[in-house]
A and B are shown apart, each in its own frame.
Chain A
Amino acid sequence: MRTFRIGLLLGLRQIQRASVWTTLLIISVMMLTFLNLIAVSGVLVGLIAGAENAVRENSLGDVVISTRSDEDHILNTQAIVRELDTYTEVTTRSVRYLGSGELEANYKERRDLQGDADVTNVKVTGIDPISENNTSNLSEYVVEGSYLSPDEEGMILIGAYYLSQYAELYGDIFETVEDVHPGDTVRLTAGDIQKEFTVKGILQSKVDDVNLNTYISEREFRRLFGRIDQNADLIAVKLVDPTTNQSVKDSLVQSGLDRFAKIQTFEEGTPKFLADIKKTFNLLGTFIGSIGLVVASITIFIIIFINALSRRRNIGILKGIGISERAIEIAYVLQAIFYALAGSALGAFLTYGVLIPYFDVNPIQFPFSEGILVAEPLSTFYKFITLFFTTLIAGFLPAWLITRQNTLNSILGRK
């Protein structure tokens, strides 16, 4: 205890009487190291989290009800919808009918009937335009033309990646039709049934499921695909509080609705590869951040070493008058702790007070995602602990190296 008290006195006074600029510089190094640890992995994970958020907001919702693997469609869809409408936690839901077909464009201008038609295979989704828009804000992603109106027929929305003028940015990876714009007519073929649609709008989003999709009204979908039973393929449910999705899912399962459909939370419905990428990016970020950690620990080591070395004689005299080595080591470790705490506190303030709110409002624009900064408090805490102990060791080692030197040699400045 007495040793700690002396160490505390010496350490505090050294911090108090050190040059303000030097102290600020060291704290800045620690703060940047903390940010490096948090932000690099945070942006990498945020890139995937941004994509996930987009899928949640613009496609799947908080609870995903889909077709059981042993069925072709969701059974008793209307009963499920009625049940959902009784939940106060549910703000909106969109019932979707999914199918695939062949989209043909420019057939009216086609002169060479022997040549290839301008066709592409497309996903077709039948929707109620109002509830879909309430659930996924689909109308916000109309980049040309306009969104579907509830009562009109013969209109189609086409995802941008089916159109050559949008998809050419990505090379030849997408099968497209040429030069299609709002007002043009296209033909959609599902099995033996073919119907002509007018292009109402073109959709472009960060969510590929929107870019690689076509949307028509559910009534026309059922007619085109012969779905007279009104059983849908997917119901995207949006909740008042997205964090309650597990309990809502549990209630739906307890109601026995899982006999008719697969009921999942958004997280459960997220493809495993996304979770794996997230983990990989987190690891990658931690690895890159660790390099910063090593650099910071070397910096702290050098700073404390130079500090202790320049006070070598003073350390020798303290030992000479009977102050224990441990007390002197504690003084230097305390300085390192101070730098680590001050740097981390500033870093945490910047992360949670400035950077995260900033990136939430101004996400980083990646082609497939609006990247945010993800810094889970628990993960941040673990990184802080890592930084703290690394700094502690980096502070202790040089102090230990200097204090273990012969007392008289230290006093006289001999090697």
Chain B
Amino acid sequence: MKLIKAKDIYRTFITGDLETHVLKGVDIEVEEGEFVAIMGKSGAGKSTLMYQLSVLDHPTSGNLTVDNIDVSQLPESEQTEFRLNTLGYIFQDYALAPDLDASENVMLPLLMKGEDWDKAREKAVQMLESVGLKNKEENLPAQLSGGEQQRVAVARAIVGSPKIIFADEPTANLDSISGQAIIDLLGKLNERGQTIVIVTHEEEYTKYCNRIVRMEDGLIVKEEINRKIKSKK
């Protein structure tokens, strides 16, 4: 089943009289259970593409369907609801709420979905344990290392059982050991059937990806299938 169907996606930014065409007619589809890496040099448009696919931005033109819903023209409030129920995010700099402890950060999507406080906390603690953060649930983000913060972000992204997880350069701020640990974690999630779309520019972190999409100048120029990894679907 195709979870993402993007056809002829354009994204143009207008600043005064200047028009910058960042995406110039991108077509991409993502199957359920796939682990797709979007790669490319800086300015290639990979992050912009991910923002379109992850419903954080509106394409200037084109058709975009995620989980069989045309999301290209959803109003902002419905986009927020859609993201809550369908998508999970891992940002480059962890992006945790600084005033909430680790478990509260993980609980946020559950509480927003209407989950009972105690159940949400129980799930959050379990999820933190599953990403290797046992007994760290009451730590504030500032009391955790970069790698630990990113694990909390992973726990937050997966706790609501999203259909797709988007990770925007999740290892960029981490040392190589911590970065590898996060990629291993995502690999394990994918093994259990989780669909993941990751933006990265580091080749060594694509070992779990079953497809690599390479971009240049706002277009997909190459798609590589990793034969060693089978799609989980």
Contact = CB atoms under 8 A, between A and B. Distances in A.
A317 B111 contact: no
Interface residues on B, range: 20 to 34
Interface string A185-228: 00000000000000000000000000000000000000000000
Interface stretch (B79-87, B144-152, B222-230): B79-87
A322 B109 contact: yes
Interface in B93-110: 95, 97-100, 104, 108-109
Contacts of B104: 9, 13
A403 to B, nearest CB: 10
Interface in A12-44: 13-14, 16-17
B51 interface: yes
A123 interface: no
Interface string B117-156: 1000000000000000000000010000000000000001
A411 B112 contact: no
B91 interface: yes
B83 A320 contact: yes
Contacts of B56: 320, 407-408, 411
Contact of A317 (B95, B99, B109, B117): B95
A378 interface: no
A319 interface: yes
B76 interface: yes
A322 B98 contact: no
Contacts of A322: 80-81, 83-85, 87, 109, 112, 160
Interface in A251-285: none
A6 interface: yes
A325 B99 contact: no
A325 B81 CA distance: 11
Best-buried of B76, B80, B85, B114 by chain A (most CB within 10 Å): B80
Interface residues on A, range: 20 to 34
A16 B80 contact: no
A321 B56 CA distance: 10
B112 A324 contact: yes
Contacts of B208: none
B89 A2 contact: no
Contacts, number: 83
A72 to B, nearest CB: 80
A327 interface: yes
A330 to B, nearest CB: 12
B108 A13 contact: no
B97 A10 contact: yes
Interface in B35-64: 51, 56-57
Interface string A388-415: 0000000000000000001110010000
Contacts of A10: 97, 99-100
Nearest to B82: A322
A408 B51 contact: yes
B98 to A, nearest CB: 7
Given A13-B104, A407-B56, A408-B51, A323 B95 contact: no
A203 B108 CA distance: 76
Contact of B80 (A14, A314, A325, A408): A325
A106 B189 CA distance: 113
B170 to A, nearest CB: 14
B77 A324 contact: yes
Top 5 A-B residue pairs of the complex, sorted by shortest distance between their CB atoms: A322-B84, A13-B99, A317-B95, A17-B99, A2-B114
11 contacts: A5-B111, A6-B112, A10-B97, A10-B99, A17-B140, A317-B95, A319-B80, A324-B77, A325-B77, A327-B112, A407-B80
Interface of B: 51, 56-57, 76-77, 79-81, 83-85, 87-89, 91, 95, 97-100, 104, 108-109, 111-114, 117, 140, 156-157, 160
Given A318-B108, A320-B56, 11 more contacts: A9-B104, A10-B99, A13-B99, A317-B89, A321-B89, A321-B156, A322-B80, A322-B112, A407-B56, A407-B76, A407-B80
